[in-house]
Amino acid sequence: MERNNNDTFLKFNKILVALDASPQSISALETAARLAHYMRARLTGLFVEDVNILKLCDSPLAREFCLFTFRSIPVQRHRIEYQLRTIAEKINQKIAEISSRLRIPWNFTVTRGWVSSEILSASEEADLVILGKSGWSSKGISHLGSTAQDIIFKSKKNILILGKKPPKGAPIFLFYFNTPLFKKAFNLALFIKREEFSQLVILIPVKKLEYGIEIRNQLREKLGDLFDNVYFRILEVEDPSDFAYESSILKEGWFIIPWDRNIIDEEVLKNIISKAKGSILVIKN
């Protein structure tokens, strides 16, 4: 990815991926490693020993069900801590394996505390933070848990929320919003397009079709040859999150959103992330 100028260049030098025991977390790790490989970035894995889980051990009411005896027994703190260490060791091995295969620099950190606070703290050193979309939610892949929302809305960093892992060649959907961040997001989308051999589709959400056509023509004129092999989809909707009826949009892929709080409020962004089945990259800086 070549540097053109400071206004349009966007490169991730340090990628932080927050990991837990869920299958989606491993998918997040694999996607993070792919991006680190493309950008020659350092990959940092983070596993947080959740103090909420450990606090349950101190409650006399907390019990766990034994599959062998079909009886419940008191939760034992040493067993929980052992399980957390085992998870961390498996994650460490997986990061080492993937990073070695792709030849990327990496490190792995284990902390103990409140999950969202620990991730936010670690994100200060990163350019991109990656979370598995459903790994932090008990309500499934279409719902954002409180931890994911904390990271999205409290962190100043770029965020990738991984839903269904995009396979090689999956389409890239770039939302157009009238913000200086769009040019950076567009250049990043082009970069991922080249590396993934993907199709790039620019989504233009507008309330009236004629506005969308005008924006499309302006973009073609402004960015010239960069728009070769780029497609457009004008979404005639009341707000940008109102695209559920477009089944062809809700397929697997990358969704890139240049997010400016002054243009798109938090509720709209949350709705977009919840509805999109693919991986959502929120560009903030």
Instruction: For residue range 239-263, list pLDDT tens digits in order.
Output: 887 765 565 565 678 999 999 988 8
Same domain, residue pair 247 and 215: yes
Residue 228, pLDDT score: 72
Identify the domain boundary among 139, 162, 185: 162
> Locate tokens 């993907």: which residue?
198
Point out the domain boundary residue: 162, 190, 225.
162
Over residues 205-240, the pLDDT tens digits come to 999 999 999 999 999 888 777 777 789 999 888 888
Domain assignment present for residue 4? The answer is no
Closest CA to 256 of 232, 285, 223, 279: 279
Q: What is the DSSP letter of 111?
A: E
Domain of residue 188: give its range: 172-283
Comparing 153 with 69, the larger pLDDT belongs to 153
201 and 110 inside one domain: no
Same domain assignment for residues 114 and 212: no
Residue 8 lies in a domain: no
Same domain, 49 and 152: yes
CATH number at residue 199: 3.40.50.620
- 12-38 pLDDT, tens digit each: 999 999 998 777 788 888 889 999 999
| pLDDT tier at 7, thresholds 50, 70, 90 | very low
Residue 215 contacts by C-beta under 8 Å, 6 or more apart in sequence?
A: 176, 204, 206
Structure tokens that stand for 98 in this block:
């993937």
Task: Judge whether 185 lies within some domain.
Answer: yes
Residue 9 included in any domain = no
Residue range 83-87: mean pLDDT, rounded:
89
Task: Specify the pLDDT at position 3.
Answer: 41
Using DSSP, state whether 57 is helix, strand or coil: coil
Based on the fold, state whether residues 179 and 152 are members of the same structural domain: no
Q: Which residue has the tokens 């697997």?
A: 252
Judgement on whether residues 46 and 133 belong to the same structural domain of the protein: yes
- Amino acid symbol at 49: E
- Residue 42 confidence (pLDDT) above 70: yes
